Structure 1
Amino acid sequence: MINVALLSRWHVHADDYVRQIQNNDHLSIQLVWDENVERGKKWAEELGVPFEADIQKVLTNTLIDGVVVNTPTNLHKEVILAAAKNKKHIFTEKVLAFTVKDCEEIYNAVDQYEVQLMVSLPRLTEPYYLYAQRVIDNGWIGKLTTIRCRLAHNGAVASPEKREGWLPQRFLKKEQCGGGSLIDLGAHPIYLTNRLAGEVKTLVAHMQHTNEFEVDDNAVVLLAYESGAMGIIETGFLSQGSPFQLELYGTEGTIRIEGSQIRYSLGNNEWTNLDKPPEALPIPMEQWVSAIVDKTTPTIKRSDVMHLTLINEAAAKSNKEVSWINVNDNRN
């Protein structure tokens, strides 16, 4: 049994991870810590486990094998490094850290103390991604020329009940989040397009503050890949009824994914629905457990995590400087 401590309920996915833990026979929640003591005590009471206000006592507790980190993103580096140094396995929400340099420091500690680190990038396990990757790997649409991915929701759209939308206000605080719609929701299009299109050469980004929040609430990134392909990433907190979209355009065909529906056209201008997509891979939580228990190699890779931060870091620089950025300048 892997005894787990929950570190913060700050992130909106914290309760999702609790459900995943409770559904896994290898995991058991033993403790709760939260930088917000009142929130943490309430969570611990709901779960029927003790609350510990001192994080060092959690991390030095020999009964704890792993931690699930849902702190504000600006605390990730400090908390994850401390967990690694105390030889705790780590599951955390994206993004790992704000800079490539900080990500490297974290991974160096993970290697040194021989613990398993999993960053939740769940769409890399979905059937539509696996099919898109198969299309690319087999050259079914010829040479990839353009890739587009959009993920947006209405979290910052005002309603009679909530003046600034249903998204927690802490997600609109730059110090804690490091950014807004791009670094949060846009993470999914970033890591998907990174996998499918390969190394990014240059990019230009615009992060709009439509509602004058501290962070962007609408964003777009244009990318030029080493392969010669172009990319478009779109995200935002201001779109009502916006479906997830992933499109791959090639010299010999097109793949269009909307929600979970996959359609393709291979050179004949006729569209066909894919009836039997690949089976989904184990979710990140399950891959983390498997890596700890069975020493398996996760399909979510270190490079996925590093390149996610790489693109975010370059996009923030582009937005600030209002210019195209050579992404290689940000690689270490």
Structure 2
Amino acid sequence: MKVALLSRWHVHADDYAREVQENNQLSVGLVWDEDTERGKEWANELDVPFEKDLVTVLANPEIEAVIVSTPTNMHKEIILAAASHKKHIFTEKVLAFTVDDCKEIFAAVEKHGVELMVSLPRLTEKEFLYAEKALDAGWVGPLTMIRCRMAHNGAVVPNGKTEGWLPARFFDKQQAGGGALIDLGAHPIYLTNRLAGKAKAVYARLEKGVESDVDESAAVLVDYESSALGIVETSFLSHGSPFQLELYGTEGTLLCKDGSIQLKSIHHGDGNWVDITDELPMVPKPMKQWVAKIQDSIEPSITKKDVIDLTRINDAAALSHLEGRRIVL
């Protein structure tokens, strides 16, 4: 299946190109980019043609699918156009800025009979899989609190430099729609949503840097209908911050930290802390799930609900910060 790479704007664009090259069911057919020079450079690196006209890309009968790594504010327009040309679509999170826009996109892909996958990779990794098992097996009992933190130092400016390693375009509010929360915070949001269930209210604080138009650190409290409380943390200003996923219940605690999984439960290990090392069935990465759905009609584990609920929490968090109040969903 020949794929067109649409934009190198997002820092994960190179990762997706590499995944295509490593997948024997996919190949890169050509490159398009809203920044012509950047697109030409990328196409040269990949040794494929560059096409400056998006309509020509989408009308090309040899192109069966597209990977969208454009600025987030271009997602809706480009994905709707791709769907209307019956191209399958893989895209970076978040899908769109509003729930209504997400629903419009899903309606379009369903109408045109194409498959859409949004990259939510942490739903395929072992921290989430063990957390899901801990809940399903009753190891922690009823969930009372869940905390997830994902942060890095992309906005920290080293001595002698004018910017951090995260590209300046990630701080363009118009293009990105926000800062740390909408980008990096997406991972803790969709994880807590999946594990805790339906959210009913959100309270958030998004902190900007002195010279930044977007948040560089954020914390969100989510009330879930299950009575669990979710705590989401993210930052572009944290050196050495590990990925953390913590589940607290009436009968146990599960702590996940950078690949290490520990459990203390009345049902497991005589109530002492134990390291969990059992092998779990592997869940394919988002791109492989996308291909399996297209080629073999295998339903992905990443769902439409995951995608829409991610935008729902992001949207509510931004409003909560703006108005300084708890937002009931």
Partner of 1:182, secondary structure, is helix
Which residue of the partner structure matches residue 230 of structure 1? 229
Partner of 1:313, secondary structure, is helix
Which residue of the partner structure matches residue 98 of structure 2? 99
What is the deviation of 1:310? 0.5
Amino acid at match of 1:148: R
What is the deviation of 1:212? 3.1
Aligned residues with identical type, % of pairs: 59
Amino acid at match of 2:54: I
Gaps of 5+ in 2: none
The superposition leaves residues 70-99 of structure 1 with CA deviations (integer Å, 9 ceiling, x where unpaired) of 000000000000000000000000000000
Runs of 4+ deviating beyond 3 Å: none
TM-score by length of 1: 0.97
- Counting only pairs closer than 5 Å after superposition, residues 103-252 of structure 1 correspond to structure 2 as 103-252=102-251
1:52 equivalent in alignment to 2:54: no
The superposition leaves residues 2-53 of structure 1 with CA deviations (integer Å, 9 ceiling, x where unpaired) of 0100000000000001110000000011110000000001111111111111
Q: Distance in 1 between matches of 2:322 and 2:36?
A: 36
Deviates more, 1:291-300 or 1:71-80: 291-300
What is the deviation of 1:203? 1.1
Amino acid at match of 1:54: D
Q: State whether residues 131 and 277 of structure 1, in contact with CA within 8 Å, keep that contact through their aligned partners in structure 2.
A: no
Amino acid at match of 1:28: S
Q: State whether residues 128 and 277 of structure 1, in contact with CA within 8 Å, keep that contact through their aligned partners in structure 2.
A: no
Gaps of 5+ in 1: 328-332
What is the deviation of 1:223? 1.1
Deviates more, 1:117-126 or 1:274-283: 274-283
Q: State whether residues 253 and 266 of structure 1, in contact with CA within 8 Å, keep that contact through their aligned partners in structure 2.
A: yes
- Counting only pairs closer than 5 Å after superposition, residues 237-316 of structure 1 correspond to structure 2 as 237-267=236-266, 270-316=272-318
What is the deviation of 1:179? 0.3
What is the deviation of 1:277? 4.0
Taking structure 1 as reference, are residues 161 and 83 closer, same or farther at Cα in structure 2, changes over 3 Å only? farther
Aligned residues: 326
Aligned-CA RMSD value: 1.0
What is the deviation of 1:269? 5.7
Q: Distance in 2 between matches of 1:318 and 1:270?
A: 40
Q: Distance in 2 between matches of 1:108 and 1:159?
A: 45
Amino acid at match of 2:130: Y
Partner of 1:141, secondary structure, is coil
Partner of 1:243, secondary structure, is coil
Amino acid at match of 2:259: S
Q: Distance in 1 between matches of 2:147 and 2:161?
A: 32
Q: Distance in 1 between matches of 2:160 and 2:280?
A: 41
Q: Distance in 1 between matches of 2:103 and 2:160?
A: 43
Amino acid at match of 2:186: A
What is the deviation of 1:138? 2.3
Which residue of the partner structure matches residue 330 of structure 1? none
Which residue of the partner structure matches residue 8 of structure 1? 7
